[in-house]
Amino acid sequence: MRNRFGELDLAASAAALLLLLFAVLAVLAPLVAPHDPTASSLSARLLPPIWSEGGQSTYLLGTDQLGRDVLSRLIYGARVSLAVGVAAVLMAGAIGTALGITAGYLGGFADQVIMRVVDAWMAMPSLVFAIFLAAMVGQSAINVVLILGLVYWTRYARLVRGEVLSLRERDFVKLAVVTGASSLRIMVRHILPNVVNTTVVLATLMLGVVIVTEASLSFLGVGVPPPNPAWGLMLADGKQAMMVGKWWLTVLPGACILLTVMSASILGDYMRDRFDPKGKMR
């Protein structure tokens, strides 16, 4: 991955590779994971990772209280976290971009209404808002995606609207207006392609945040429901065990989250440097 000077950006390349690795593992989970993530084994409970005393080679990263293999759960957990994260980011992006373009281009009443909603919704702390929504609907992965989409679309809307305000004055837009194109057509065919860059950069930057929020929701018991092996759920399960020294049930899932989010952040910074060097985003 080359930065805007043509040099190789080591951090971004490493980040991209790591995310790619997680993604591949997630997709190929059934083939790669050594065990069924939900299969419990009474005899193999709370085994430490292989390099610790008492570890076994069949369970490379140990097992949890129900004897489920940690490594397999981590791999399947990647599936959940990445799928939910990407889906949520796409959904928030779609809603936010659509409303942002509408508000920015049409102006007037539509702009006022949309922006006041954006102001109000952005005033609620993301996690609090997400918890509130989660408490109102049943627990499922789909619901989590919807909730995260509802919580985070506002960021896209604000950013896109700002860009559209200046795009609106550009000649090619004015030309389209003069030639009688309908507003909808202009928004879709002329404005939209020009905000895609910014949206993609924001999406990459948001991926990390979304994943952490999902993990928080799952940890509190209102996110992805068990027995799905979500990393956040694994952390919740691990809390009891950690008090008696079973560190791997906490350290490992958290490390996965950390690595994923770090990579997403680094990648997001790279994309921003590459596609938005003038710093339109804060």
For the CB of residue 242, give the shortest distance to another protein in the complex, in Å. Answer: 5
Q: Which of 124, 142, 177, 196 binds another protein (CB under 8 A)?
A: 124
144 contacts: CB under 8 Å, gap ≥ 6: 84, 88, 134, 214, 217, 218, 223, 224
Q: Which is nearer to another protein, 42 or 244 (CB)?
A: 244
Which of these segments, 33-41, 69-77, 163-171, 241-249, binds another protein (CB under 8 A)? Answer: 241-249
For the CB of residue 136, give the shortest distance to another protein in the complex, in Å. Answer: 3
Distance (Å, rounded) from C-alpha 250 to C-alpha 13? Answer: 28
Q: Which is nearer to another protein, 32 or 273 (CB)?
A: 273
Which of these segments, 44-52, 102-110, 171-179, 248-256, binds another protein (CB under 8 A)? Answer: 248-256
- Under the binding rule (CB under 8 A), the answer on residue 127 touching another protein is yes
- Under the binding rule (CB under 8 A), the answer on residue 162 touching another protein is no
Per rule CB under 8 A, count of chain residues that contact another protein:
48
Q: Which of 266, 267, 270, 272 binds another protein (CB under 8 A)?
A: 266
For the CB of residue 128, give the shortest distance to another protein in the complex, in Å. Answer: 5
- Under the binding rule (CB under 8 A), the answer on residue 13 touching another protein is no
Which of these segments, 28-36, 89-97, 155-163, 239-247, binds another protein (CB under 8 A)? Answer: 239-247
Site for another protein in 213-232 (CB under 8 A): 215-216, 219-222
For the CB of residue 50, give the shortest distance to another protein in the complex, in Å. Answer: 20
CA–centroid distance for 55 within its chain? 33
Q: Which of 75, 87, 157, 212 binds another protein (CB under 8 A)?
A: 212
For the CB of residue 104, give the shortest distance to another protein in the complex, in Å. Answer: 18
Site for another protein in 131-160 (CB under 8 A): 131-137
For the CB of residue 259, give the shortest distance to another protein in the complex, in Å. Answer: 8
